[in-house]
Amino acid sequence: MPLLSCKLCGKLFTSAGGRTCPACLERLDGLYPRLREFLRDNPKVDFNVESLSETLEMDIRDVQALVDMGYLDRNLDKSGESVDADRQKLAKEFEQSLKQMKDSVAQRDGAQHTASYGQQRYGEKKR
């Protein structure tokens, strides 16, 4: 295992992966629920890392580390409704794409496609 320096506190530690020591990870795990609750209670207010750290009296490096680690999304303005609408739109586009592919294959191979792939590739089996 390599010896790494923690990107938050600078202490040396051994790690199989990640650049944050176990003590800092534990501290971040404790801060995350508090930060998440605050963001849920204030959904209409735009925050950045600096304003969040000042408002919650947290170290700015901790808030930035939570963002960098993927705990917090940088773009918090999407509501659940718009995400559902995006998913439905994507599903419809995918369905249309599949239909177009199926139609193009049917046109290429003829209206009725009765032979299997193996029969098309190797011909009819002779007994």
- Distance between CA atoms of 103 and 70, rounded to whole angstroms? 42
Q: Is residue 106 part of a domain?
A: yes
**CB of 63 closer than 8 Å to CB of 49:** yes
Q: Is residue 20 part of a domain?
A: yes
Q: Is residue 116 part of a domain?
A: no
- Domain match, 85 and 54 both: no
- Distance between CA atoms of 89 and 80, rounded to whole angstroms? 14
The total domain count for the chain is 2
User: Which domain range does residue 33 map to?
Assistant: 3-68
Nearest 5 degrees, angle CA 90-CA 99-CA 113?
Answer: 155
- The DSSP output letter for 59 is -
Per-residue pLDDT tens digits of the chain, which is 127 residues long: 788 899 889 899 888 778 889 999 999 999 999 998 998 898 888 888 899 999 999 999 999 999 888 887 655 455 556 677 888 888 898 898 888 888 887 777 664 556 677 777 777 666 5
- Domain match, 62 and 87 both: no
